[in-house]
A and B are shown apart, each in its own frame.
Chain A
Amino acid sequence: MKRTVLAFFAAGSLLWSALSHAATRPGYGGTLRVNMRLSSTSLDPADVVQSGSFAGNNISSLIFDTLVTLDRRGVAHPALAISWQSETGGQRWQFKLRTGVKFNDGTSLTAEQVAASLRAANPSWKIVASGDGITIERDVPDAAMPAELAMERNAIARRGGSAIQGTGPFAIQQWDAGKKLILSANNDYWDGRPYVDSVEILMGQGLREQMLALDLGKADVIEVAPEQARRAATEGRHVESSDPSEFMALVFAGNVSDEATAGLREALNASINRSALANVLLQGGGDPSAALLPNWLSGYGFLFSPPSDAGSHPAQTSRQAVNWSLAYDANDPLARVVAERIVLNARDAGISLQPGTTNKPDLRLVRTPLASLDVRLALMTLADSLRLPKPNLASESPEALYAGESGLLHSRIVIPLLHLRASYGLSAKVRGWRNTPDGRWYLNGVSLDARK
């Protein structure tokens, strides 16, 4: 209740009202300066290498639209498609397209172009354009089709000609492959023009350079390594983080995935002190995990408890001598320190690991972002990216999903380690920042505070 003196209130209310609009509404204009490590040579959303990263997905979402979007609960919402329905148990899908959508060069989006774009990304799909919609037929029923179409690799692009075109909130203004991308706001965007006039993305920037750029006021959005997020925040920076979502794991090569090495693989699994990885090396930038999917996504992840958080060392006497090579991304400082810690844990358990960057290692340390907020699709995609057997999902029930994930883990080809947070450092100018639980941007709603 307003307790201000009535006369004062009466006199001031009109002024307040006028001022409040000016103060609280986001302002249009300005250039949002983004720094990232990714040094992409392609903007094509169907490029598997690019779309497998947070950064790639985030860039793609600025230029291209998908037929469907998922909200932060994983619920599908219309985007370029305004409605959809399935037939024959999910084997055949019909999508009705939004009318009046234009590419950034001003040409209209057609059903044929949508079909062609999806065919390029999914050669095995049978896609037919029909009037104001498309029909997709799969070999097998695919209940997750809407969620699949929400993935960035299925974003709609018009290829050919001098430049790739999208219908997204921003248009490509300047593209210096691998170095710099300048995007300008799409004034006719079907979902409303973005607040900022342009986005300037500097690529190939190291994390230290990015932090410096933020501190010097030369960047508005930077990436922050999971292990640096807490410190960056403690030092007064504005840091936004996702839920723990990026999967970090050890994956065995085929030559060491047989039954003969099962005991050793299990011993290695038991030797790893995940709590130390999460709390010491990562400084809380991730959660220890023995599951493929984070618990907040699956709801049952806690059932896969790590064998020992203290690092256990089962009897070594009967263990055969092995000397496995462990590969990690040499450009990833976090991967290096995690690999080194795992080598120490393994040594305590009598297992010798040789860290390095060899091409044909016995096991790899991998980082894989969560592909989707649709739990079923996330598991399928993760298995595919780790080259694990396709999970057997008998139904859409959580029990079936649990059984499918259990099956993948029991193969002992993969040893889950952590789920990492995606963190971003923001300048004081940035308003309206939102990211999804898995770390994706919503830059359409970001505005810049001109007073900062």
Chain B
Amino acid sequence: MLEMNQTGIYGSVMTGYGDNSILRPERWLKTNGRRISTFLFVALITLSAQVSLASEWTGPAQQLAGEVVAATGPGAAALEITNRSSLSHAEFDQVSRELRSQMGALGLQFVNADAAAATITISLSEDLQNYVWVAQVRQGAGTSSVAMVSTPRKGSAPVGQDAAVAVHKALVWFQPEQILDAAIMDGSPTHMAVLDTEKVALYRLEGGRWQPEQFLPIPHGRAWPRDARGRLILRKDHLLDAYLPGMFCSTTKASPLGLDCRQSDDPWPLGDESANLKAFFAPSRNYFTGALAPGVGRETAAPAFYSAAALPRDKYTLWVFAGVDGQFHLLDGVTDQIASKLDWGSDIASVHSVCGTGWSVLATGSGEGLVDTIRVFDVADREPIAASQAEKFHGPITALWAEASGNTAIAVAHNSENGNYEAYRLSFLCGR
């Protein structure tokens, strides 16, 4: 059984790095022998999570398949599966595969609607506590029937009494090199890009494991600043852009896929595209200078800051900047309000959660130590109120960026026990 808030759903089974764009397993094994045992251990854990997850769906899928085939009998059928629930794309794909597999085993063959004796429409829905999978079966012009099964939803266990939001962290990747950012492209198959100071690595999710597809080196002549930062932005007309201190990289539009990098002081995007705000990053430091483009209302500059979070309101967007001076500046285009008493760390991001006031701030914990935290805060007016328990990480958070959907975020923790950098995808569930 996949434990909430503990293990990943994607699993990192092998780290890849090197100076070539193609992974060489033999070299990897040779140069990383000491790390193998650790990797294998984690791989085993994550693989077992995958197996558990698959078996979690098997029971209900088997049950629903049995009810469907009892109505249709074996033969040719058209099948459509839709997701009306909070299942992620990856989970939806797993359930779909499981359902197809179970129905196939009972003698159904899936064909186009015009060649089908029966049409099966399966909706993966949910109620407050359970996933509710509904199959509507139509046979020719005859009558239709409905079959349903339910299975407990992840996170249906009660959360802390005062927590409105539960943070769910899923480990998606780890490696010894510093991860600056990661971007997951949900789809079929799901892909992932991992940015570090040397390359953009692309992976494909296959059988519950990330398989390396391509490594795109980042050429650079000068040393990176200490505590380097970087960000990946997925694009519509090409795969992605990568922002690094003093450098901008973009994947090629034509095949084969390449990465064009150049020295650049171009501003980095803050928030998603709809936020329409960029900021200039100090090329030899680890923070943004404060210069904004085009600005927040009339304000074209903020104090130098490490990170920012956008909180869209009805008539404006409230921006929260985690200042280098330790203060948090709230800019709404007219005023610059300082919230100096917040016990937040340097990295913040905004996400659109499923509960509370809609847009919330994710904030790392303050202080330094072997453990860091990320916590959700609702900012109903200008007063952040903790909306979740603090989610712990085994080391400081070194990167925190919202994903393009606005519903999830990527956090990178530097594990103080094994030295690895671990990328987590954070999602959010309503608590009490």
Contacts and interface: CB of A to CB of B under 8 A. Distances in A.
Given A72-B432, A303-B146, A1 B326 contact: no
24 contacts: A1-B227, A1-B345, A1-B364, A3-B286, A3-B306, A16-B343, A24-B385, A24-B386, A72-B128, A72-B431, A73-B158, A234-B315, A238-B380, A240-B357, A299-B131, A302-B84, A302-B125, A303-B136, A303-B146, A398-B148, A398-B150, A431-B380, A434-B164, A445-B162
B430 interface: yes
B29 interface: no
Interface stretch (A168-176, A290-298, A314-322, A328-336): A290-298
A300 B324 contact: no
A16 B341 contact: yes
Nearest to A403: B146
Interface string B303-329: 000100000001100000000111000
Top 6 A-B pairs ranked by shortest CB distance? A299-B132, A20-B343, A299-B127, A23-B341, A1-B396, A19-B341
A234 B312 CA distance: 12
Interface in B145-170: 146-150, 156, 158, 162, 164
Contact of B380 (A20, A71, A433): A433
Interface stretch (A6-14, A132-140, A270-278): A6-14
Nearest to B227: A3
Interface string A330-357: 0000000000000000000000000000
A73 B132 contact: no
A428 B385 CA distance: 13
B366 A2 contact: yes
B415 to A, nearest CB: 13
A300 B315 contact: no
B326 A8 contact: yes
A449 interface: yes
Contacts of A236: 314-315
B398 interface: yes
B396 A375 contact: no
A13 B367 contact: yes
Interface of B: 84, 123, 125-132, 134, 136, 146-150, 156, 158, 162, 164, 227, 286-287, 306, 314-315, 324-326, 340-343, 345-347, 357, 364, 366-368, 372, 380-381, 383-386, 396-398, 414, 430-432
B287 A3 contact: yes
A382 B198 CA distance: 62
Contacts, number: 136
Contacts of A426: 380
Interface in A57-86: 71-75, 77
Contact of A399 (B126, B146, B287, B386): B146
Contacts of B147: 399
Contacts of A299: 125-127, 130-132, 134, 150
Residue of B148, B306, B383, B414 with most chain A CB atoms under a 10 A cut-off? B148
B84 to A, nearest CB: 6
Nearest to B162: A445
Given A299-B125, A397-B148, A402-B146, A77 B158 contact: yes
A75 B397 CA distance: 35
B342 A23 contact: yes
B127 A298 contact: yes
B326 A71 contact: no
A49 interface: no
A97 to B, nearest CB: 21
A20 B341 contact: yes
A233 interface: yes
Contacts of A296: 127-128
A2 B346 contact: yes
Contacts of B372: 1
Given A12-B326, A16-B343, A236-B315, A302 B123 contact: yes
A359 interface: no
B385 A233 contact: no
Contacts of A407: none
Given A3-B324, A298-B132, 20 more contacts: A1-B414, A3-B286, A9-B367, A16-B341, A19-B340, A20-B341, A23-B343, A24-B386, A72-B432, A73-B128, A73-B156, A75-B158, A297-B128, A299-B125, A299-B127, A300-B132, A300-B148, A302-B123, A303-B134, A399-B148
A364 to B, nearest CB: 29
Nearest to A398: B148
Residue picked from A2, A17, A431, most chain B C-beta under 10 Å: A2
Nearest to B397: A1
A238 B381 contact: yes
A30 interface: no
Contacts of A375: 127-128
Contacts of A428: 381
A13 B326 CA distance: 10
